[in-house]
Structure 1
């Protein structure tokens, strides 16, 4: 599994996603960690509850439902997730706090939408890490 994730993340290191030498932030690992441990409750459901509790309920519901995804700003995500968690995510990515928020604001709505294709949060959480790696690979290659 680690080799699969490594291959995906190396493939993602393109313009706008990588740094010097072609190695960019491990967004697969960062988002996987956020979905698994990003809130006190853990898991996708816990993360969504945290975002809803921080005033992003309308946006979150749009990401889970079958309609169009409402946008969220990096500042809104930073506020909802908290400065400590955002600083940790930015540190893992090797980017500024603002850049981490911006990247997550672009990725999370689409990832959550893809992880909830039937308009419901899956009972098993966010699914396998391999599934998430594939979703992120497709998402970031479109950018």
Structure 2
């Protein structure tokens, strides 16, 4: 079973019904891994755009700070948001709202024990623990 199939089953949706959420999570992982420097590059981008404290909370072992869709739009930039929207089939106006819910969990799961992987890559195996939290975001209380 692929990671996307696992995500879909946790959301209680078939790939057709849960396609947007699955595609968004896959796109977030791809987006992070394709940053210059991977996760380290994304962290730097947040720091450069005034959201360093927020992403640091996602990496740390404490509570994840929320990020607004507007702040995320500022950090990522319009071009990135438009590209993610095209990949996931979600309207650009919705991407930052969805990302503001998903990205903290992805970054948190990718940094176990508050440590960024040396290569800065997000591995699907690191995300399995976060899928329960993500499933709650999409309305399924099963874990």
Q: TM-score, normalised by structure 1?
A: 0.79
Q: CA deviation at 1:8?
A: 2.6
* Aligned equivalent of 1:35, options 23, 32, 35: 32
Find out whether 1:129 has 2:136 as its counterpart: no
Q: CA deviation at 1:113?
A: 1.6
Higher relative contact order (CA 8 A, sep 6+): 2
Find out whether 1:120 has 2:118 as its counterpart: no
Aligned length: 135
- The corresponding residue for 2:61 is 66
Deviations 1:97-126 (A, max 9, x none): 221101110111122122222222121323
- The corresponding residue for 1:5 is 3
Q: CA deviation at 1:136?
A: 5.5
The CA distance in 2 between the partners of 1:129 and 1:77, in whole Å, is: 23
Deviations 1:18-47 (A, max 9, x none): 89x52421123211111111x3x2411111
Q: TM-score, normalised by structure 2?
A: 0.79
The CA distance in 2 between the partners of 1:34 and 1:12, in whole Å, is: 22
C-alpha change, 1:53 and 1:9, in structure 2 (3 Å) is same
| Runs of 5+ unmatched residues, structure 1 | none
CA RMSD in angstroms, aligned pairs only: 2.4
Q: CA deviation at 1:49?
A: 0.7
Does the 8 A contact of 1:44 with 1:125 survive in 2?
yes
